[in-house]
Amino acid sequence: MFKGMYTAIITPFRDGKIDYSSLEKIIEMQVKSGVDGIIPMGTTGESPTVSFDEHKQFVKKVVQIVNKRVMVIAGTGANATEEAICLSKSAEDAGVDGILSVNPYYNKPTQMGLILHFEHVAKSVKVPVILYNIPGRTGVNFKPESVKELLNRVGNIAAMKEASGDIAQMMNLIELCGERIALLSGDDNLLLPVLSIGGAGVISVLGNILPADVKKVITFYNEGRITESREQFYRLLPLCRAMFLETNPIPVKAAMEMAGYCTSEMRLPMTPLGKELREVVRSELRAYGVKLK
């Protein structure tokens, strides 16, 4: 059921608090741009820096603003299984269409630990679950054979957001699991290659600022307009790179501020983009044709 373009939205802050006025503006832009879904409280949403109460309230508010116009998949990952279950149940109660659950970070569980973690989380809710494999930020890689074992244990694992950067591993996932799980690119700069191996779409960072443009890559590809899809992908590629000049979501928050959607304020230990790199981001946005404030 998960295919197309999903934006992992930022969490706008102002004076240390969540800026719900800017959030509403961001969501309205996303919906009008034709995204297939919105993902609050993922890595791009700085989820490690918000309290449990803020997390729950933010997800609830996103569901209310979206009002079923597109899908809402809440990031509910944690490195303690019980905490992940708590956040997942709360998101389900808020009315989300699914949850996004990242590998437990820092404690580096074994493959069986990963299987059991996701099994317990998935069984705690009835909504579909998207797994999120990002070894570079969690320190552990959820391997395709382990995903296959997990699918044999629970029935509501629907997709995998793959951000390992390893195309061969993604191919192995499709080889082992087939249509039992949808593959979503977790890297904007790998969207076209992931589509070419059988991927179903993307969970996008760049989609915060250019949702319709990112979606065009997928739409063209699915319509068999491969040359146009490739051309659109390569037009976006410099901006894809710019969004990772520093740790995500530092550059995309700067871009959103430049476009007038919110401040670039972040919570420590994340810090705003420096002046030199801000000029690089600004230059790439202008080159693409983004209107800046």
Q: Is the pLDDT of residue 17 over 90?
A: yes
Structural tokens at position 238: 């410099």
* pLDDT tens track for 20-38: 999 999 999 999 999 999 9
Tell me the CATH number at 50: 3.20.20.70
- Is there a domain that residue 276 lies in? no
- Is there a domain that residue 274 lies in? no
What gap in Å lies between CA 82 and CA 193, rounded to an integer? Answer: 36
Which band of pLDDT confidence, cut at 50, 70 and 90, is reported for residue 1? confident
| Structural domains in the chain (count) | 1
DSSP letters, 56-118, are HHHHHHHHHHHTTSSEEEEE---SSHHHHHHHHHHHHHHT-SEEEEEPPPSS---HHHHHHHH
Give residues with Cβ within 8 angstroms of 14, minimum separation 6.
22, 262, 263, 265
- Is there a domain that residue 268 lies in? no
Nearest to 124 by CA among 162, 173, 159, 91: 91
What gap in Å lies between CA 184 and CA 130, rounded to an integer? Answer: 9
What gap in Å lies between CA 202 and CA 194, rounded to an integer? Answer: 9
- Is there a domain that residue 269 lies in? no
Give residues with Cβ within 8 angstroms of 83, minimum separation 6.
none
When pLDDT is averaged across residues 222-247 and rounded to a whole number, the result is 98
Half-sphere exposure of 229 toward its Cβ, with a 13 Å CA cutoff? 19
Catalytic pick among 6, 56, 60, 132: 132
* pLDDT tens track for 64-121: 999 999 999 999 999 999 999 999 999 999 999 999 999 999 999 999 999 999 999 9
What gap in Å lies between CA 99 and CA 237, rounded to an integer? Answer: 28
Give yes or no: 161 in active site. Answer: yes
Contact 184, 200 (CB under 8 A): yes
Confidence (pLDDT) at 279: 97
Taking all residues of the chain, what is their mean pLDDT, rounded to a whole number? 97
* pLDDT tens track for 169-217: 999 999 999 999 999 999 999 999 999 999 999 999 999 999 999 999 9
- Is there a domain that residue 263 lies in? no
Give residues with Cβ within 8 angstroms of 249, minimum separation 6.
10, 43, 44, 45, 46, 205, 208, 266, 270
What gap in Å lies between CA 105 and CA 81, rounded to an integer? Answer: 11
Which band of pLDDT confidence, cut at 50, 70 and 90, is reported for residue 13? very high
Catalytic pick among 60, 161, 215, 253: 161
What gap in Å lies between CA 114 and CA 250, rounded to an integer? Answer: 29
Q: Is the pLDDT of residue 123 over 90?
A: yes
- Is there a domain that residue 128 lies in? yes
Q: Which helix (H) or strand (E) holds 126?
A: none
When pLDDT is averaged across residues 231-244 and rounded to a whole number, the result is 98
Domain that holds residue 131: 4-232
The share of the chain scoring above pLDDT 90, in percent, equals: 99
- Is there a domain that residue 39 lies in? yes
Q: Is the pLDDT of residue 293 over 90?
A: no
- Is there a domain that residue 105 lies in? yes
